[in-house]
Amino acid sequence: KNEVEQSPQNLTAQEGEFITINCSYSVGISALHWLQQHPGGGIVSLFMLSSGKKKHGRLIATINIQEKHSSLHITASHPRDSAVYICAALYNTDKLIFGTGTRLQVFP
Amino acid sequence: GAGVSQSPSNKVTEKGKDVELRCDPISGHTALYWYRQSLGQGLEFLIYFQGNSAPDKSGLPSDRFSAERTGGSVSTLTIQRTQQEDSAVYLCASSLQTSGGIYEQYFGPGTRLTVT
């Protein structure tokens, strides 16, 4: 069964803290997406990766294929980073299987 | 360029009525996906279209749900005889191509459906 698990479900942080959100998946995937959803907002794709590491501004995503694990890191977190972060695995069927999301709140 | 657009942004309907939700993908994107996000639930796949291939309907929750994609572009998701459990945000996404390659999916803003 294709499954995607995320942790933690909820995360609070003080502005400036380093944040890590974890995602694990059950079987081999083609790629993994990290998505961001602001309250009442749409979904924005942050990264799509199938190996290694990607960086965009203060966001870093890594994936370890052998361990079937990916992490999203936010450096120097800011209140505007408050959102739900969702990892989604792309399996052979070309459709995304989503994790349950991590609700992040960053306080000033 | 323009992103994925969806209409309406909000729809309130009475139980038992039919509704149509529209998605305009990014121009040139051959793959189009419908997803649903129910209150308190995660995102779930509904259906996807890839070029002229038969759509993958494996995620549709019941035969009250159907979708079509005309001319390889605009897609309409139809829900017949709506039920309260159909209340959710319906999201559309498109990507450049899926066969033989891995391409990022771009999401629309969603349609919030409320069935009263």
Q: Does any CB of chain B come closer than 8 Å to the CB of residue A42?
A: yes
Residues A108 and A57 sit within 8 Å (Cβ to Cβ): no
Cross-chain Cβ contact B43/A86 below 8 Å: yes
Provide the mean pLDDT of chain A: 91
Spatial distance between the Cα atoms of B42 and A1, rounded to a whole number of angstroms: 17
Strand-pair partners of A14: A107
Q: Does any CB of chain B come closer than 8 Å to the CB of residue A84?
A: no
Cross-chain Cβ contact A45/B105 below 8 Å: yes
The per-type count for chain B, helices as H runs and strands as E runs, is 0, 10
- The three-state secondary structure class of A30 is coil
Residue A42: which of B48, B102, B108 has the nearest Cβ? Answer: B108
Structure tokens at B64: 């009250």
Spatial distance between the Cα atoms of B96 and B29, rounded to a whole number of angstroms: 4
The answer to whether residue B97 scores a pLDDT higher than 80 is no
- CB atoms closer than 10 angstroms to residue B95: 25
The pLDDT, as a whole number, for residue A95 is 78
DSSP letter assigned to residue B64: T
DSSP A53-90: EEEETTEEEEEETTTTEEEEEESS--GGG-EEEEEEEE
Structure tokens at A20: 């890590």
The answer to whether residue B98 scores a pLDDT higher than 60 is no
The 10 Å CB-count burial string (b at 16+, else e) for A65-88 is eeebebbbbbeebeeebbbbbbbb
Residues A96 and B105 sit within 8 Å (Cβ to Cβ): yes
Q: Are strands A59-64 and B5-7 parallel, antiparallel or unpaired?
A: unpaired
Spatial distance between the Cα atoms of B94 and B46, rounded to a whole number of angstroms: 14
pLDDT tens string B31-57: 999 999 988 778 999 998 988 888 889
Residues B83 and B15 sit within 8 Å (Cβ to Cβ): yes
**For B42, which residue in chain A has the nearest alpha carbon?**
A100
The Cα of A46 is separated from the nearest Cα of chain B by a number of Å equal to 10
pLDDT tens string A72-97: 999 999 999 999 999 999 876 577 88
Residues from chain A that touch B56, judged by Cβ atoms under 8 A, are 93-95
pLDDT tens string A40-76: 778 999 999 989 999 999 999 999 988 999 999 999 9
Q: Does any CB of chain B come closer than 8 Å to the CB of residue A49?
A: no
